[in-house]
């Protein structure tokens, strides 16, 4: 946890936005005001809004126009993704760590989690994107603070993402999910997001609504099945729709995966 102090400081916008997340929602006025105070972020947001990802018919020239076109939730996710990606890219990490793969996997899980949460009316669906974006932060902390242990976990797990958490438990006595949750607690993120991140490898039994941890579990597994993971050869060889089918999305899996593929392909050029 001490390695959290070695992370670059949050930008003022990301710091404020994290604070707004504690309130579960951020208003149109506050979000636009935060973005407009950061010239670099504002220009990146407009670049995203005007990209093929959103297919605007006319060019959007102002942040407030972008907010009105996309809605607060979508733009909040864009700002979080841009800000967190910029933060990660400023970190020095040991050999064997790929920040590019880490960023791609985090973005993919965030996008899938958001789609699944909305499609299933999951509990605390508004936190799905943030939870997905930060669910593997513990892996980064291990790589930064314990490079020798990180190398050994890497060696033992090889290309099989399914065995990684077990090797972490054996060597460290805890998993990257535990560390991710501890970091998000330190940053005062909402409890539902923290709990979902902590349990994303072993979600609890379901209640009346799909738990956010189950959303993360499905999004994480699906991303890895698609070959978008933190490791080189991560594809498990199964059907990418396998985990979507398990939560009752069999009839919508193809459409959902198609929507994800289009969004993710466009986003790869932006982040």
Please tell me the distance from the alpha carbon of residue 136 to that of residue 230, in angstroms, as a whole number.
9
The per-residue pLDDT for 238 is 72
Please tell me the distance from the alpha carbon of residue 125 to that of residue 120, in angstroms, as a whole number.
9
Q: Is 91 exposed, middle or buried (0-12, 13-18, 19+ CB in 10 A)?
A: middle
48's CB contacts (< 8 A; 6+ apart) are 54, 78, 82, 270
- Per the CB < 8 A criterion, the answer to whether 105 and 87 are in contact is no
The per-residue pLDDT for 6 is 76
The per-residue pLDDT for 117 is 94
Phi-psi group of 161: left, alpha or beta (phi > 0 → left; psi -120 to 50 → alpha; rest → beta): alpha
Domains present along the chain, CATH in parentheses:
9-91 (no CATH), 97-271 (1.10.3210.10)
Q: Which residues does the chain have with pLDDT short of 50? A: 233, 235
The per-residue pLDDT for 167 is 92
């Amino acid at each position: 946890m001490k390695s959290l102090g070695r992370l670059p400081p949050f930008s003022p916008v990301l710091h404020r936005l994290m604070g707004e997340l504690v309130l579960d929602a951020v208003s149109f006025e506050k979000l636009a005001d935060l973005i407009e105070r950061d010239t670099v972020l504002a220009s990146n947001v407009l670049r995203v809004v005007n990209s093929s990802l959103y297919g605007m018919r006319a060019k959007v020239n102002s942040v407030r126009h972008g907010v009105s076109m996309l809605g607060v939730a979508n733009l909040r996710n864009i700002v979080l993704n841009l800000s967190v990606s910029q933060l990660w890219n400023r970190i020095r990490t040991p050999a064997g760590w790929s920040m590019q793969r880490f960023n791609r996997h985090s973005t993919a899980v965030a996008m899938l989690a958001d789609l699944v949460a909305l499609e299933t009316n999951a509990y605390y669906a508004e936190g799905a994107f943030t939870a997905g974006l930060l669910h593997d932060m513990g892996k980064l902390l291990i790589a930064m603070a314990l490079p020798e242990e990180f190398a050994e976990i890497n060696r033992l797990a090889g290309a099989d993402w399914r065995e990684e958490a077990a090797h972490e438990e054996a060597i460290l006595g805890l998993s990257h999910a535990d560390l991710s949750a501890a970091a998000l607690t330190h940053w005062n993120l909402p409890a539902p997001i923290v709990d979902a991140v902590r349990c994303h490898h072993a979600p609890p039994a379901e209640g009346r609504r799909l738990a956010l941890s189950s959303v993360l579990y499905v999004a994480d597994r699906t991303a890895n099945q698609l070959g978008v993971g933190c490791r080189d050869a991560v594809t498990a060889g199964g059907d990418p729709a396998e985990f979507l089918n398990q939560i009752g999305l069999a009839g919508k899996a193809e459409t959902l995966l198609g929507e994800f593929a289009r969004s993710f392909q466009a986003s790869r050029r932006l982040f």
